[in-house]
Copies of this chain bind each other. A is one copy, B any other.
Amino acid sequence: MSLSEVELPLIWCPLESARHRRAAQVEARAEEWIENSTMCATPSERDWVVATHSADFFARFAPVADDDRLLATSLWVYWGFAFDDARCDNGPLSTRPAAFNALAGAVQRGLEAPSARHEEERFIPALQGIAAMFRSFGQPALVRRFGAAHRAWLSGVAWQIGNAAAGRMPELDEFLAMRLLSAGGEPTFAMLELATGMEVPAAELEHPAVRALTEMAIMVAALDNDSHSLLKEMKRGHTDQNIYSVLMRHEDLTVREAVRAATALRDRVLLRYLDVHERVRRRAGEELRCYLDGLSFGIRGNAEWGLRVPRYLSLGRVPDEAMGDAALEWAERPAVTTRAPLPAPSVAWWWDRDLIGA
């Protein structure tokens, strides 16, 4: 496939846009923290990490956080991008599942156990510094929820790395189950509660309808990210597992057809999300309402960020631009109107009728 063949459609996203009013100040504090941490091995790596503008990113997810909480959660996003670039997507481990599994185990243990020591792996002490900030907020249930989400993410990356090592391009159903994890949406959305401090009662947060909304938000954002990074991936000659390569391989589509099909899949998920969201929010208590609002801010914010961030736009050069702020254009309507479940059993339960009552 060639770059000129690809024309990405406008994104359909009828959700409110928001951004923390002190995003710029928090971003400055985050850059200082990164400068003083051991996280980046070289100035170029640091430039790449700073260019993710992760504070701007998470400021869109949590427009109501206090500054210290927005700083801590933004730092994890920076950390996640840096770790992903160095150890997951492109690093020497990207096709070595045995080595990655052991690293993921050590990283996760570093997150959970304040006493764990791994000075030889620069990403672990940095992560432990962030975890200490999370703990300082005094809500251990939220730290544990984040920890579980973090493990889910690493398990998805391990799955992806295993597929890459085996030269295996997953079919749609497997890809969606894997992408739900590997995209990093689990820990990102799990930080909504840490950022706002609004702790959702377990029985509400884990209700199947709320769980489905969380997964749908992750999926929409993950597919949007596949779209944002398509040009970059093509430019760099990656043959990564993404929604386009999956559809092209297994459904025998051209890249243009794959873009159309992926857009339709993504819009179907968002349509269902909107239906369920509206029904669930109506009956939600204060904390759950705050969480549900965060899911929507996150979908919208991720799309806005992805359309503007130099990480995606620079096509492989080390980016030095500031975050763009040009007005964005959006699609006026979804690419499809069907309310039928996706043809993927792993996620079809999002359309269960009893999820939102008869």
Contacts and interface: CB of A to CB of B under 8 A. Distances in A.
A99 B159 CA distance: 9
B168 A102 contact: yes
A207 B159 contact: no
Provide the main secondary structure of the chain A interface: helix
Contacts of A170: 102
A102 B174 contact: yes
B166 A99 contact: yes
A288 to B, nearest CB: 13
Interface string A85-127: 0000000000001111110111011000111110000000000
Nearest to A182: B105
Interface string A140-161: 1101100010011011101101
B158 A348 contact: no
A144 to B, nearest CB: 4
A129 interface: no
Contacts of A141: 202-203, 205-206
Interface centre among A159, A166, A170, A199 (most CB of B within 10 A): A159
Nearest to A160: B101
Contact of A101 (B101, B108, B207, B348): B101
A162 interface: yes
Contacts of A352: 114-115
Q: So how many copies of this chain end up in the complex?
A: 2
A203 B199 CA distance: 10
Contacts of A97: 97-98, 101, 162
A108 B155 CA distance: 10
A202 B287 CA distance: 15
Contacts of A156: 105
A143 B207 CA distance: 10
Contact of A115 (B163, B205, B349): B349
B109 A163 contact: no
A208 interface: yes
Interface string A325-358: 0000000000000000100011111001000000
Contacts of A144: 202, 206, 211
A150 B159 CA distance: 16
A120 to B, nearest CB: 12
A178 interface: yes
Interface of A: 97-102, 104-106, 108-109, 113-117, 139-141, 143-144, 148, 151-152, 154-156, 158-159, 161-163, 165-166, 168, 170, 174, 177-178, 181, 199, 201-203, 205-208, 211, 341, 345-349, 352
**A-B pairs, 7 with minimum CB distance:** A98-B162, A101-B162, A141-B202, A115-B349, A148-B148, A115-B348, A117-B345
24 contacts: A97-B101, A97-B162, A98-B165, A99-B166, A101-B158, A101-B162, A102-B159, A102-B166, A102-B170, A105-B155, A105-B159, A105-B174, A106-B174, A108-B155, A113-B347, A113-B348, A114-B349, A114-B352, A115-B345, A115-B347, A140-B203, A141-B202, A141-B206, A199-B203
